Amino acid sequence: MLNPSAQIGDIQCGCGHPLVVIAGPCVIESRDLVFEIAEKLKSVTDSLNLPLIFKASFDKANRTSLNSYRGVGLEKGMEILAEVRSELGLIVTTDIHLPEQASPVGEVCDLLQIPAFLARQTDLLVAASSTGRAVNVKKGQFMAPWDMKHVVGKLEESGCQNVLLTERGTFFGYGSLVNDMRAIPNMASLGVPVVFDATHSVQRPSAAGGKTGGDRTMVEPLASAAVAMGCDAVFLETHPEPDLSPSDGPNMLPIERMLPLLTRLKQIHELTHLS
């Protein structure tokens, strides 16, 4: 049987537990920038007594353009995330795109993330399960929330006991996404914690001339609504200068917005979940 509360390292995520923050830059640009962001996030979440899982991608394998920046690669990426884990004491996560990436990523990360476009890839889910780590699967933009029961089934049958599902928006015509907040309680009914991805939900796919656009002004109201609707964790990508980021800049929050936003989300979560 799956755990209604997922164990991720020493963090418990689910009903009756504090709101979990999964945050970091979209992609690893350099070790120095990763540490700058991780240290600031740690300071913010420590001040609010919120558990933090640091996220950064070593490879963005689904970029719109062949010439777009993808990251530092698996080996260098794991080296940097391992340093974040050891030097800052943070739990770390990243996404995998191929089954053979699961094992080396599982040696460093307590949580493996499956991108939305790959949510139905059986071999990838089985490989992630085989690591013994918790697995977070983003609901495909093309999938109904109730169909995620099949994703959960694949993971459970493959031996994964700590599963999280993430709502990150649904296709709305061409070049836009919309959130159906009913997805949060719907996926929670499958017996797993639910994450709300507040920054990818505001994407405008391929809307910026060969790259993804977005509207970061919608991040805060959507995150607030999702926490009120019952999500157990929020996923937020952030950067000191989002407009200079080589990936997903229009969607990311400036890092100085993290403290006021997380303060508000903690208040909403405590009012709606822990009272």
Domain-embedded: residue 51: yes
pLDDT at 51: 98
Domain-embedded: residue 99: yes
Closest CA to 112 of 86, 90, 130, 89: 130
What pLDDT digit, counting tens, does each position of 21-42 carry?
A: 999 999 999 999 999 999 999 9
CA pair distance 179, 1, nearest whole angstrom: 29
pLDDT at 275: 54
CATH code, domain carrying 42: 3.20.20.70
pLDDT at 189: 96
Six-digit token pair at 85? 């884990």
What pLDDT digit, counting tens, does each position of 233-259 carry?
A: 999 999 999 999 888 788 999 999 999
Print the domain residue range for 162: 19-273
What pLDDT digit, counting tens, does each position of 135-161 carry?
A: 999 999 999 999 999 999 999 999 999
Domain-embedded: residue 78: yes
**Res 46 pLDDT > 60:** yes
Residue with the larger pLDDT of the pair 175 and 77:
77
Give me the number of domains the chain comprises: 1
Domain-embedded: residue 10: no
What pLDDT digit, counting tens, does each position of 165-179 carry?
A: 999 999 888 878 899
pLDDT at 211: 54
pLDDT at 215: 86
Lowest-confidence range among 60-69, 129-138, 179-188? 60-69
Q: 104 pLDDT band (50/70/90 cuts)?
A: very high
Domain-embedded: residue 13: no
**Res 126 pLDDT > 80:** yes
pLDDT at 274: 60
Domain-embedded: residue 76: yes
pLDDT at 250: 86
- Residue bearing tokens 């200079």: 244
CA pair distance 40, 25, nearest whole angstrom: 12
pLDDT at 249: 82
- Residue bearing tokens 């950067």: 239
The DSSP secondary structure of 87-106, one letter per residue, reads HH--EEEEE--SGGGHHHHH
What pLDDT digit, counting tens, does each position of 202-228 carry?
A: 988 765 555 567 888 999 999 999 999
CA pair distance 217, 223, nearest whole angstrom: 11
pLDDT at 209: 52
Domain-embedded: residue 9: no
The answer to whether 132 and 8 are in contact (CB under 8 A) is no
Q: Which long-range contacts (CB under 8 A, 24 or more apart) does 218-221 make?
A: 219/251, 219/253, 219/261, 220/253, 220/257, 220/261, 220/264
Domain-embedded: residue 6: no
